[in-house]
Amino acid sequence: MEEKRAKSYVIAIIILLCIALCVASILVAIRIINNIKGELFSYSYPNSSKVGYYAEYLGTIDRNLPEISNEGLQKYPVYGVTLSATDTEKQAILDENNYLLASSATYDSIDENGNLYLNGQKVVNRKLYKHSASIGMYEGDIKDDEPAIIKKITIKSRSGGNHITGLYAPAGEVIKIEMSQDDFDTTGGLVVQIGQVLTNGDANNIWLARDFCRMPIIVNTMTTKTAVAYVGSYFGGPIYISPINKGTTFTVTISGGVPYSHFILGYTTIQEFTMNQNTSAPYFDLEVWDDGVRHSGPKSRVTQYTYGDLYNAAILWDKIALVSNQVPAGSGGDIGINFLYDPFVAAGAMVAFVGRHTVNCPLECLTVALDYDSAVTNASGNFWGCIHEFNHHYQRFGFTRTPTDILKHVLFFVYTPYSLCLSPCRFAKFSYEVNGRKYCLNNKI
């Protein structure tokens, strides 16, 4: 009997010890949770934008450096420098420029060796090369020893426009575009653009009557016809892609491009940004995804900005876009607006290509547009000029083109840390200055 009672005591003690151990474990767990409370779901990169983009860097690939050549003219424009030329000389440059671009009359595909094809037939004595006018393009050059990479990108495509790859095609070098057959069938193929381009795919072309401060057309557009295809450009440039069937999700692997500096709000990490910033590729893109905005131009204009600076600038432009694109617009708010910073400006000091989702600005405005500290303390006239042109895309509010219509697009200016609506009195005093030319509302003064 005593033996049974002793066993019961032992069992009871064991049970009590187990209970005590469980309670202690629970208390410790609660303390741990309390200590890390606020960190479990806290990400160091807060952002409200949607990003339908994901990329993997798969390694490097050898580059085949092309010959530097041209079609034999006496002079060619240099990027950012006004060419002194007669109309006859300029027309010859225009003709050569068109000869070097893909079209239904020149070539529509390239093989892995850079040979050109048209309608499946090899074009006799035509091969991709690095044009002499590509030297200094976008205020820089890719070093010969800069490695090319293989990059796998998955994109949930928008209803229009193009998508950043973060890769730069060196002039005269072949780029491989590879998809699964399923993704090729789903997308119908990809439109690949190499070079600075308007959102709707148009070139920011220079015509005969204007000064040539670069080659007249610097974007080459090709469409993939098979799951594995090759593209290239005589002038080089950033690579953008878009599916034939808009709104589809697809994965593409691009080989042969050089990473260039870019910042996608809500996606780009400081590690990736630093890696890409340190390459010799001369281009830069900052993008607020989906119905936001993109700033696109030479990297030399933004090298002073840190990752944190660009993050602040992206948040500022996110807020600007989130207000402006809530109203009926001349450019659909579901695509976003692309700021192209270019030595050539098609009209005035800056111009909004309404319906084509693009603003064309001079090169110096890229620095100003991304200067967050100045923008929120004492914004320059150039900064307000960018805002002014941006809001031309969002001034269709059931009005006709009247002063009231123009007033509406200013009423949607946004300024961090607060939203600023300009009254008619304030609006009457609004002006900005670019390159010594002053503008008030839509009129030069």
Give the tens place of pLDDT for each residue, 104-120.
999 999 999 999 999 99
Query: What's the pLDDT score for residue 36?
Result: 39
Query: What's the pLDDT score for residue 392?
Result: 87
Query: What's the pLDDT score for residue 12?
Result: 63
Distance CA 321, CA 287 (A): 12
Distance CA 83, CA 77 (A): 5
Six-digit token pair at 363? 């090169």
Query: What's the pLDDT score for residue 139?
Result: 98
The position carrying tokens 């905005």 is: 293
Shortest CA distance to 162 belongs to which of 390, 335, 354?
A: 335
Question: Which pTM was predicted?
Answer: 0.82
Query: What's the pLDDT score for residue 297?
Result: 98
Query: What's the pLDDT score for residue 428?
Result: 34
Mean pLDDT for each 10-residue chunk of the chain (445 residues)?
A: 62 68 60 43 50 94 97 98 98 98 98 97 97 98 98 94 97 98 98 97 97 98 98 98 96 98 94 96 93 93 97 93 71 80 96 94 97 92 92 66 49 41 34 46 35
With 0-12 CB in 10 A as exposed, 13-18 as middle and 19+ as buried, what is 128? buried
Which strands form 337-341's sheet, in the order they lie side by side? Answer: 261-264, 283-288, 293-298, 337-341, 358-361, 351-353
Query: What's the pLDDT score for residue 214?
Result: 98
How many C-beta atoms surround the C-beta of residue 134 within 10 A?
26
Residue 25: strand, helix, or coil: helix
Query: Backbone phi, then psi, for 125, in 5-degree steps?
Result: 60, 35
Give the tens place of pLDDT for each residue, 402-413.
554 554 444 444
Query: What's the pLDDT score for residue 8?
Result: 66
- Is the previous residue joined to 417 through a cis bond, with omega within 30 degrees of 0? yes
CA 441 to chain centre: 29
Distance CA 76, CA 93 (A): 7
